[in-house]
Amino acid sequence: MKRHKALEQLSRDHHQALFQAMRLKRAEEADAGSVLGDFLDFWFGVGYLHFRAEEEVLLPAYSAYGDGSREEVIRVLLDHMHIRREAYELGELKKDPAPERLHALGEKLDAHVRHEERVLFPLIEEALPDDELVRVARGVDEVEKAG
């Protein structure tokens, strides 16, 4: 799907997230610890900044042009809350996680990314004028670089 240039960085982050989701969904007892470690490296390196960029830049920009209380938007925020909580709880574990827990996180992350790519981003691209999308891209870049 062709994405507006302003959303390309977020879509690149999504590719990484989908790879992590696939690994989480395939985790077994023997590799659960390493799969979790790789996910946490992604989360603390890219994932949490990606969520911040969406919450602090993308969605507020959308709310100036569209209805921020739409179910499509609320779902993104709820997903962020659940994924963030699970990432931090898994990061606190002192032992390898049950594969089922990783599978559930992988399913949630996969569905979340696909929702943003198929539903949220087209909604935003339709609502925001080009100059606002350019401003969003700068804001996303600033959040992800600020870390």
Q: What is the CATH number of the domain that holds 91?
A: 1.20.120.520
Q: What is the pLDDT of residue 143?
A: 93
Rounded Cα distance, 5 and 19, in Å: 22
Q: What is the pLDDT of residue 1?
A: 60
Structure tokens that stand for 1 in this block: 């799907």
Q: What is the pLDDT of residue 113?
A: 98
Global confidence as pTM: 0.94
Q: How many CB atoms lie within 10 A of CB 34?
A: 12
Q: Which residue segment(s) compose the domain that 91 sits in? A: 5-146
List pLDDT tens digits, range 39-64: 999 999 999 999 999 999 999 999 99
List pLDDT tens digits, range 106-127: 999 999 999 999 999 999 999 9
- The total domain count for the chain is 1
List pLDDT tens digits, range 125-138: 999 999 999 999 99
Half-sphere exposure of 147 (CA within 13 A, CB side): 5
